[in-house]
Chain A
Amino acid sequence: AKDSGEHDEL
């Protein structure tokens, strides 16, 4: 489910 940006948010 994390195709887009794996944990790229703070």
Chain B
Amino acid sequence: MNIFRLAGDMTHLMSVLVLLLKIHTIKSCAGKSYPCSLCFILLESSSGISLKTQELYALVFATRYLDIFTDFISVYNTIMKLIFLGSSFSIVWYIRRHKIVRRSYDKDQDTFRHFFLVLPCLLLALIINEKFTFKEVLWTFSLYLEAVAILPQLILLQRTRNIDNLTGQYVFLLGAYRALYILNWIYRYFTEPHYVHWITWISGLVQTLLYADFFYYYFSSLKNNVKLKLPA
């Protein structure tokens, strides 16, 4: 474990917390006759969270962490896996099933088909993998799918244009997590013998590049001190 890896995991954890915080805020409106100002804003417009992306992440973690009961790496590793599995499935549950949270989800804007991402990733994992076993192919599939799972979210952001603050932070934290993982790989490559993982690196690099455009607008909105807006 190095500082980049730990920082990467922590930003990933923070992104999940930001999303849960957002859901909690929306949820807390449930019993009130007058929603709080933040809830009111969230309910007025859509939450800007893509259910498609969240469902893809749930699938990513479900297929990647199949080893949770068979291989023990560390207590840290197991706990983090449980957090990511639990949070991703509960987020999906809230957006689909919770009365209030569901209302803030803009279904008509979030039209990306899972199928277009899942199928090519599955085929690619069957062709390009390190070992042709059930667990290994699904693990590789999870890497490919994670690389592109953010696409429905980025498309939704571009469509809605007016980006809610928490949603912007969420996407930024996810991008930061990927960038830190690249630094982690560079560090490990020079400090650990035989540390070469082409599949992980290339899919991780592709994933990070997808955030480049978002990062550009995120940082210029910070620099100019204006609300984040993506061009049409």
Contact = CB atoms under 8 A, between A and B. Distances in A.
A in complex with B: yes
B5 A9 contact: yes
Given A1-B130, A4-B188, A10 B80 contact: yes
Contacts of A8: 73-74, 77
Given A1-B130, A2-B130, A9 B192 contact: no
A6 to B, nearest CB: 8
Interface residues of A, number: 10
Contacts, number: 35
Contacts of B192: 4-5
Contacts of B71: 6-7
A10 B7 CA distance: 12
Q: Which 9 A-B pairs have the closest CB atoms?
A: A3-B194, A4-B195, A4-B192, A8-B73, A10-B80, A4-B194, A1-B130, A1-B196, A10-B9
